[in-house]
Each structure stands twice: as structure tokens, then as C-alpha cells.
Amino acid sequence: MDFLQLIYSVGAFVVAIGILVTVHEFGHYYVARKAGVRVLRFSVGFGKPLWMRRAGPDKTEYVVAAIPLGGYVKMLDEREGEVDPQELHRAFNRQTVAKRFAIVSAGPMFNFLFAVVAYSLMYVNGVSGIKPYIGAIEPGGVAQTAGARDRDLVLSVNGVITPSWEKARLHMLDRAVDGEPLRLEVQGDDLMLRQLLLDIGDRSVLQDDQIDILQILGFDVWRPRIPPLIEEVMPGGAAEAAGVLAGDEVVALDGVRIEGVRQWVDLVRANPGKILTLEVERGGQPVELQITPREQFDDGQRIGVIGVRNLVVVPPEVRDELSVVEQYGLLSAVGEGVNKTAQMSWLTLKVLGKLLIGEASLKNLSGPITIAKYAGLSAQIGLEQFFSFLAIISISLGVLNLLPIPMLDGGHLMYYLVEIIKGSPVSAAVEDAGQRVGMALLLLLMSIALYNDFLRLVE
């Protein structure tokens, strides 16, 4: 990651976290105000205030602080200081259990609501995708055993219509996490409909460091053969030395026929310092060249580079055949937003459960470094991807905050449930012990996530 990319990623991360923390804390703030509780401070971030303003009849402090990794809403509370007798009825600790429960649960609920709104807006505007055509099939894999064929179009997964790969992958992963067989309805090139049953058996899809449900099932996304064109040859590079010219169409590298730019780039990267035979088409005539990719290190990995800029020209008829746009009216879009938020929330909870019982790799945990990286990438791609990223992180924050861990909202809700059952609040000693346990658990999780982040940086 170069310096400019780093700055862009950090900036996108700060914006994303700032938005989601504001949404979460606004939930607490809004419901507290509605419940008649006095709010003393609404802070986005921790530490030294960078900006502060007092406003409203209660002179609430609105703060933007220096450390953008969270936030808080401070309410009037006898446990945190002396309260004017005339204001006791507005103290948080004096509220009924129902009101306290509503105030605390409002933060995560607003995170889920934000995801619903984000997804709804995306579906109203139209979500671009790629039709789910099955590509290369692994010999002896799950898909081949089930009877899948190249260019099969996946129409539905376990009865759910899948117009795009994004939706098909999500439903495949959702069912596979539960160990359920996948029932695919596909349409072949002959337009005939077929039913496929894909069963991965006892294999846990979450044990791999990088979860790729299609790889586990033994097939890939279908891609048309569109050889890359050389748009530009960099001065002083290996391509210039080999005689490559702008306008050359790549045909094969070291005897391997090039089907697309991804394959071309991967082959070059995999052969640093090796003399390769490059076949190109130039002016309608075949030309054979000898090229040696020069060694370079990328994130600690030795790769080959040749110094060209590739151009992929997708014919309009191919683009029209593969592309799909999911777009709905307002009410239908909200329904889709609710469904997707619910599905992503439940999937997140299931993955956390698998982590807890050891059926998922801890390497799947990500920390702020990885989140910042994806924030930057999604922001660069466009608003649609950035909104999708925000929705996913918002759902994760909502689910995590509802876990019954002291220090999180879910821990407080757990105490309130105990209070409802036993008829009195839990003791201060129990709360103090819970705070220590919660702090230890959160530090452990953060340490694992940061460790995984640094491993990804050096790999």
C-alpha cells in the first residue's frame, strides 16, 4: 500500500467510523431524550475534544474528540456524581427497567436501521451486478459431482431467486455455514432447467483463512475470453526491452493461452526473473517475443513485473449479456433492505457462534487496519460500494454490541434482564467484576484482530 493509498484508506476509515458511531450514539441520545433523561454529553470519539458546543435547554455538550474509534453518550446518573434533587427524576439510574432497556438497546437498533436505509437507497437507485453463470469446474469437486456444467446460469439457491453473483454467493454461504446441502436451480445453454444438489459434507466452510464458497464448491465465475490489449509500455521496463508495443494483443505466455487480464497478471507476477515466451498479435499477425519479468517485492512477496498498462475492451453485447441491475420501487426496496439486513445480521451471529465453539478460524477476525483498507477500496470504487461497506460494518457493530459481554450494550441488557427476574438491580460488586471480565475479553479479541491485520500486511 503506497502512501497516497494509505492516506485515502485512513480518511475513508475515519469517515466511515464517524458516521456509524454517530448513528449508534444518536440512538442512545434520541431515546434517552424521549424518555425524559438529561443528556450531559454526546461525544463522537474519545480523548481530547477537538470541537465542542453546548446547546439546547439542558446545555448538552456536543463533542468531536481526537480518537475516532468510538463514542459515548453521558447521561445524568447518581452513580457518576452528585445530582440536584430537583433533577433526580431525570437521572438515568432512576428510570424504570423498561426505559433503561430501551435507551441502551437503541444504539444497536439504530445501527440495524442505518443498514436498512442504506440497502433500501441502494435498491431504489439500482444495484449493479453480474449474472451468476458457472465457469471453470474443478474435476472431481462438489459441483462436478452434482452435475454442474460450464455456462450454467444459477436461477435460485434453496428456493431464493438469485439474479446476481452477489446474492447467489450470500445465500450459498448462509446455507453452507449451517452445513445444509445447497439446492441450485440452473439453466444450461440448451435452456433446459435442472436441479443440482451440492453437499460439502462435514467440511466447515469457516475453517479456511479466506472464505471462498465457490472454491469450496469447486467452480468459478464464468468469464468470457477477452485477451488484454497493451495500452502503454513503460520506458525502461522489461516489456520495452522485449520489444512489446502499445496495441499488441496478448495471446499466450510460456505456452499458456491467455483468457483474460486477471490470468495474464497472475502469470507475470508468478514468474519473476524467468525467461518467458510471449505470444502477441500485432496488426493481425502473430509475433513471438522473449520477456523476463523483473523482480519486485509487494507486501513482502516476491513478484514479477514487466511495466505495461493493460486495457480490456469488453464488447457491448458481452457486457449486456452478463450485467444485471436489481432495482425496485420504494416499498419493495425497503423490503429488500430489511431482508438483507436480517440475513446479514443472522449470518454474522452464526459466524461468531462458530468462532466460539472452534468451528471457524480465528484468522477470519479483522481489526481496524483491514477495515480501513476495505473502507478505502470501497470508497474508490464508488458510492454504491461504500454504502454497502457501511451497511455491513453497521450490522457488525449492532450484532457485537448486543453480545452479553459486560462493557458492551448487551452486557447492560443482560443485567436488566436479571433485574427483571430477581426484582432488584445486580450489586455494584457484580457489575465491577463484570467490567473487568468484559475488558479482558475485548482486549483479547482486539489483540487477535490486530495480530491478523499485521499478518495480512506482511504476507
**Angle at CA of residue 20, ends 19 and 21, nearest 5°:** 95
State yes or no: is 25 an active-site residue: yes
3-state SS class at 279? strand
**Whole-angstrom distance, CA of residue 75 vs CA of residue 37:** 7
Q: Which three cell numbers stand for residue 366?
A: 479483522
Question: What type of residue is 6?
Answer: L
Angle made by CA atoms 69, 22, 119, in degrees to the nearest 5: 105
- Rounded to 5°, the CA angle 392-73-398 comes to 20
Q: Given the C-alpha cell 430489511, which residue does it identify?
A: 338
| Residue among 25, 249, 279, 336 flagged as catalytic | 25
Count of alpha carbons within 13 angstroms of residue 151, beta-carbon side: 8
Residues 133 and 322: beta-carbon distance below 8 Å: yes
Dihedral over Cα of 184, 187, 190, 191: its sign: positive
| Contact indicator for 75, 35 with CB cutoff of 8 Å | no
Radius of gyration in angstroms for the set of CA atoms belonging to the chain, rounded to a whole number: 27
First to last CA, the chain: 13
Query: Distance between CA atoms of 168 and 213, rounded to whole angstroms?
Result: 10
Burial 157-180 (b: 16+ CB within 10 A, else e): beeeebbbbbbbbbbbbbbbbeee
Q: Any residues with CB less than 8 A from the CB of 328 and at least 6 apart, and which?
A: 123, 124, 335, 336
E-state strands within 36-179: 39-55, 60-75, 127-130, 134-137, 153-157, 160-161
3-state secondary structure of 350: helix
Cα 161 to Cα 177: distance, rounded to the nearest angstrom: 19
**Residue 415 φ/ψ, nearest 5 degrees:** -60, -40
What lies within 8 Å, CB to CB, of 152 at 6+ separation is 133, 134, 186, 187, 188, 194
Question: Which positions are catalytic?
Answer: 25
